[in-house]
Structure 1
Amino acid sequence: MKPIELICTINPSTISVEQLVNFKAAGMTIARINASHSDIEEISSLVSMIRSSIDRESIKIMLDLPGPEYRLTGYDKTLRIKANDELILVPKEFVPTDEIQALQTDYPVFGMPNMTGRTVLFMNGELRSIITSAGIDQIKIQFLNSGALRTNAHIKINDVHHEIPYISAYDRSLIDYAVSERIEMLAISMVRAASDVRDVIALLNQSSQKPTLVVKFETLESIQDPESIISLGDAFFVARGDLGNDVNPVSIPMLQKELVSLCNSYAKPVYIATQMMSSMQRSPYPTRAEISDVANAVYEGCDGITLSEETAVGDYPLEAVRLAREIIDYTGSYSFSVQALEPIFEQVMNTVSLKPIISHIQDVAERIWHNGWAEANAGNISWNVTAQITSLLELFEELSEYQHFYIVSKTCSRYRDIARDPLSNLILVAVNEDSTAYYPPNRVPTSEWISHLSIHQYLRAAGRDETVILHAHPTSIVVLSQLPEYDHGVDLSQFLPELKIYLPGGIGFTSYSEPGSVELSRKSIESLPNRKTIIWQKHGILCFGKDIDEAFDYLEIVNKAADVFLNLKKLI
């Protein structure tokens, strides 16, 4: 199984060295510091405590920035709220008097029209209220449920959006601090679009020491185009609390699955956060639903589970860490055994690195089929995807013992089958010095694989950049290869001058040998130097390209030259 991180939120007000050591022993791998509830002085002291008490190599520190969010101030202890209680909110600069007891907020909503009746959420929706009246300098709310309103509580008003700069002065100071202190991970909050991520990256790029950038999906805007964000970040949070305030909460499970799958396809870590084992704030045991929540997140393919209030303010923080790690490890081992039953081929092919390659293969296969250049199961394809798969080896440990990887058309596959259903008609071949593996294992590559592999090895050894070998049977080329004058070396470029532009090394030629034979492979290598195409007598053509489109270009132009030659021959 891949390693699953256990991210524990550390409260600088309550944490001790003994507790940190116990957290690590129980399975914590990342210590998260929520900067929304601390100043830089407190954060610095906590970082020093963590680094002096725990081996830096075994525990990473994640500094989680507040982002463009709003908070309540003006009270110094937790308030006990009952349903139907009323409260007044005032601007931060307003000083409450004896006549008006109120809580301050930096939320710039005072004086906005049509505020009455809107829902106000506190602490990821744990407390909910409704606006009963609103004026230029105060808003009156009535609570819809009971609960504890913690100090510096997060506040959000539904359907109110503000165009404010993404990086606040405080966030900027935290970024500078994280870089200077070489904090391992930096999480950014309330991201709205890829441009917010680029703003942070621009700041980080000013230094050679950059932390891992963890981007949180927790706003409606961020999930409108998640791939534009995933392409920029290093790792990601599915932060279900704030996200559930922006979208219908019933959609959260499916959004979680989709975001985890997307991050997996980009081979980037994704962590799940918010209320994973929330009941353990007050109970030494999680609910059955919470156990299932953690287990399902692991089974879906997440790379980490986050404990927030459970370890920051809960009564049973160490028990929460122990149980979370137990659930992760048990589910991870079971999940791995179940996933092993699924073809690793499909998992690899569905990554973002390989999907475009499969799409290109499908497109070219359809063009060859429609052009009538491969009867029945004639012709085949191989693509050296070593560069792409090497970047995925952390996800697919089984492949790490191999050095080279190829996507190959399976034996007896037709081009029309590849065009209709590529994944059912291709195979992944993994090769090292003394062994070869096929994925799926019940498939074998094309009968011409011996020639393909020999040519790929030659191209690699020669330092050439062609990665694709395309074999087809265009009728004109098959006919041409059997004419005595071609066997004696006729130059097709005299009939199609453009040929020299695309293929300055000319066209290779091999006399007839049995398809799939070692002899045919040997002859192909002998005629290969400086050439990007080889005509196999009575058996079509091989074309080599940096990608499949380039290889197909060579196939088209040689076939055109053969057509011109044969048509002129008819006229003579």
Structure 2
Amino acid sequence: MSVFEEKPQTKIVCTIGPGSSDIGILKEMLEAGMNTARLNFSHGTHEEHKARLDLIRRASAESGIPVAVLLDMKGPEVRTGIIENDGFEIRTGETLILTSEDRIGTPDGVSYSYKNLAREIRPGMRIFIDDGIIELRVREIVLSSGAFSENASSFDRIICDVVTGGPVETKKGINVPDADLSIPGLSATDLADIDFGIREQVDFIAVSFVRCAQDIVNVRNILKAAGSPIHLIAKIENRQGIRNAKEIISVSDGLMVARGDLGVEIPVEEVPARQKDLIRLCNRYGKPVITATQMLDSMTRNPRPTRAEAGDVANAVFDGTDAVMLSGETAKGKYPVESVRMMAKIAKRAEQYDPWREANVNYIRCPHTENLNYIKEHIGDREKEKIILPYAIAKSACTLAENICAKAILVSTGSGFTAAKVASFRPDVPIIAGTPDDGSFRRMLLIRGVVPITTGSTSSTDEMLGSIIARSRDAGYVSDGDRVVLVAGIPAGKKTTNLIKVHVIGEDLY
């Protein structure tokens, strides 16, 4: 078996929590196929996350397996407050009162984090708690001003009928799909979390509950001011995010299809179609996309997934996702290592399914042709070359590699941009991407089919390509006599992609 047949081309993101905060477990997860470690800042303190980050990096260094780090921001979400005795049960037909008062939650009342909530919703609206486990219907709203009732109080109260009961627990998410809430995009907590990410040099920040492009631009401006190269992943998990997906992806470095909250904000039967739409959009823009939430959820408790979960992972691969994500399975589950192994096995088998491979080429590449035609007709001449050239070179490299049965496509890239464009066409052969930058190396661990290598500093395109070839051969990725397609830019350092070359490993480069 070649080195390329051992692991799937689809990347695996794993959430690190109490169930995986052990150096031995982390090493096993890396060996099983973890490419990116996610830290969920909706839970835990900075001290806890720093300890986990140190463990992740130590496990990577000791195992010799690289890993990227993704900081997942809490974002503009609404959550329940602290609940007494670890929670209580409410039943269908009962009444539950939500209040703006900071209090310990009991059956008599539960606090919520967004204090303007009562002023932005109306009677008759639905409220979901804990990813839709509990459904409430607003019966009456009592504001401290008495605007909706004669019974004014010191705090806002939302009096709800329980449509579907369940356990009310501490810090669980609250969704109001019938309202567009005006929660500020960045809280003081979010700003502190971004500062943590900059200070600790994480590779990605996932921006939660993105509603429009400005939500991403606001975070981007903070990173620019700090001189940070962190890439931003926009989490699409509400109606506004779906509505503005094109403008959001245009200013983001990638997307996450966050199906947990998305499946509450929109009807659950719409989620599969929206997942396909968002993945295809990212493929068209040549930016990575992560499919997330409850992919192998039963493995939180059991050593094997359900057949439906296996199908869910496989279908995300069929859709064209760059990465699949494990949440509770690895953060708090009993079988974190087994979950990663199973995810890798399912993804690998899905990639080998021949009818899909042929159909996927047409599914992925036709939209790219539409993009190129649009660019030719609507973009000015000066900007056209900057946009068209990388797409055209990437598409040509993939077609050429398949026509000559190349062993791999070798890409010279500083930032990972060119590698992402080549990967967006989903070639059958691996993409070996050489970069002198350690940060770019780790960020390419999120891109489907890309095997990053470090080249060291070089002064010319020839020297860079020579380094990529030598290190690929040393790593066992290619051997003398293999045909490869080289992709690079001339002259070096100009941030352009304008060269394709067929090369036989072992022969002179020029």
TM-score range, shorter chain: 0.5 to 0.7
1:125 aligns with 2:137: no
In structure 2, the partner of 1:26 is: 32
In structure 2, the partner of 1:4 is: 10
In structure 1, the partner of 2:98 is: 89
Instruction: Quote the offset at 1:267 in angstroms.
Output: 0.9
1:389 aligns with 2:392: yes
Change (3 A) 1:117 1:67: same
Letter in 1 for 2:368: N
1:350 aligns with 2:368: yes
Q: Is the 8 A contact 2:123 2:140 kept in 1?
A: yes
Q: Unmatched 5+ residue regions in structure 1? A: 362-383, 404-459, 468-572
- 2:113 is matched with which residue: 106, 114, 132? 106
Change (3 A) 1:338 1:162: closer
* Distance in 1 between residues matched to 2:166 and 2:158, nearest whole Å: 20
In structure 2, the partner of 1:238 is: 257
1:151 aligns with 2:170: yes
In structure 2, the partner of 1:53 is: 59
Instruction: Quote the offset at 1:195 in angstroms.
Output: 1.0
Letter in 1 for 2:13: I
In structure 2, the partner of 1:506 is: none
Change (3 A) 1:12 1:401: closer
Change (3 A) 1:297 1:395: farther
Q: Is the 8 A contact 2:79 2:113 kept in 1?
A: yes
Say which is worse superposed, 282-291 or 190-199, in terms of deviation. 282-291
* Distance in 2 between residues matched to 1:64 and 1:115, nearest whole Å: 31
* Distance in 1 between residues matched to 2:244 and 2:117, nearest whole Å: 31
* Distance in 2 between residues matched to 1:106 and 1:307, nearest whole Å: 27
Instruction: Quote the offset at 1:126 in angstroms.
Output: 2.6
Instruction: Quote the offset at 1:12 in angstroms.
Output: 4.3
Any idea what SS the aligned residue of 1:88 has?
strand
Instruction: Quote the offset at 1:295 in angstroms.
Output: 0.2
In structure 1, the partner of 2:217 is: 198
Letter in 2 for 1:322: R
Per-residue Cα deviation, 1:86-105 (whole angstroms, up to 9, x for no partner)? 43322143x3599x843221
Q: Is the 8 A contact 1:110 1:134 kept in 2?
A: no
Identity %: 30
Letter in 2 for 1:22: E
* Distance in 1 between residues matched to 2:44 and 2:396, nearest whole Å: 39
Q: Is the 8 A contact 1:264 1:351 kept in 2?
A: no
Any idea what SS the aligned residue of 1:37 has?
coil
* Residue correspondence of structure 1 range 549-568 to structure 2 within 5 A: none
Letter in 1 for 2:14: C
* Distance in 1 between residues matched to 2:400 and 2:18, nearest whole Å: 38
In structure 1, the partner of 2:319 is: 300
Any idea what SS the aligned residue of 2:184 has?
coil
1:270 aligns with 2:289: yes
In structure 1, the partner of 2:244 is: 225
Q: Is the 8 A contact 2:127 2:177 kept in 1?
A: yes
Q: Unmatched 5+ residue regions in structure 2? A: 144-154, 380-386, 403-408, 413-490, 499-510
* Distance in 2 between residues matched to 1:254 and 1:16, nearest whole Å: 38
Change (3 A) 1:392 1:17: farther
* Distance in 2 between residues matched to 1:73 and 1:38, nearest whole Å: 15
- 2:181 is matched with which residue: 162, 166, 176? 162
* Distance in 2 between residues matched to 1:242 and 1:346, nearest whole Å: 27
Any idea what SS the aligned residue of 1:61 has?
strand
* Distance in 2 between residues matched to 1:162 and 1:389, nearest whole Å: 42
Letter in 2 for 1:45: A
* Distance in 2 between residues matched to 1:397 and 1:18, nearest whole Å: 43
Change (3 A) 1:101 1:345: closer
Any idea what SS the aligned residue of 2:251 has?
coil
* Distance in 2 between residues matched to 1:40 and 1:11, nearest whole Å: 13
Q: Is the 8 A contact 1:83 1:146 kept in 2?
A: yes
Per-residue Cα deviation, 1:90-130 (whole angstroms, up to 9, x for no partner)? 2143x3599x8432212234653874432211122132223
- 1:134 is matched with which residue: 127, 136, 141? 141
In structure 1, the partner of 2:452 is: none
* Distance in 2 between residues matched to 1:393 and 1:76, nearest whole Å: 62
Per-residue Cα deviation, 1:202-240 (whole angstroms, up to 9, x for no partner)? 111112332121111112111223221111111110111
Q: Is the 8 A contact 1:33 1:64 kept in 2?
A: yes
TM-score (norm 2): 0.67
Any idea what SS the aligned residue of 1:350 has?
helix
* Residue correspondence of structure 1 range 268-417 to structure 2 within 5 A: 268-334=287-353, 338-340=356-358, 347=365, 350=368, 354-356=372-374, 386-390=389-393, 398=401, 400=409
Q: Is the 8 A contact 2:128 2:135 kept in 1?
A: yes
1:72 aligns with 2:80: yes
* Distance in 2 between residues matched to 1:81 and 1:268, nearest whole Å: 43
Q: Is the 8 A contact 1:267 1:395 kept in 2?
A: no
* Distance in 2 between residues matched to 1:127 and 1:245, nearest whole Å: 11
Per-residue Cα deviation, 1:513-541 (whole angstroms, up to 9, x for no partner)? xxxxxxxxxxxxxxxxxxxxxxxxxxxxx
Any idea what SS the aligned residue of 2:37 has?
strand
* Distance in 2 between residues matched to 1:45 and 1:302, nearest whole Å: 31
In structure 2, the partner of 1:500 is: none
In structure 2, the partner of 1:379 is: none
Letter in 2 for 1:274: T
In structure 1, the partner of 2:458 is: none
Instruction: Quote the offset at 1:36 in angstroms.
Output: 0.7
In structure 2, the partner of 1:540 is: none
Instruction: Quote the offset at 1:351 in angstroms.
Output: 5.4
* Distance in 1 between residues matched to 2:189 and 2:397, nearest whole Å: 36
* Distance in 1 between residues matched to 2:207 and 2:37, nearest whole Å: 16
Q: Is the 8 A contact 2:81 2:105 kept in 1?
A: no
* Distance in 2 between residues matched to 1:280 and 1:162, nearest whole Å: 34
Change (3 A) 1:393 1:33: farther
1:44 aligns with 2:73: no
TM-score (norm 1): 0.60
Change (3 A) 1:396 1:197: farther
Per-residue Cα deviation, 1:302-348 (whole angstroms, up to 9, x for no partner)? 0011111222233333322221111011112326x743477679817
Letter in 2 for 1:162: L
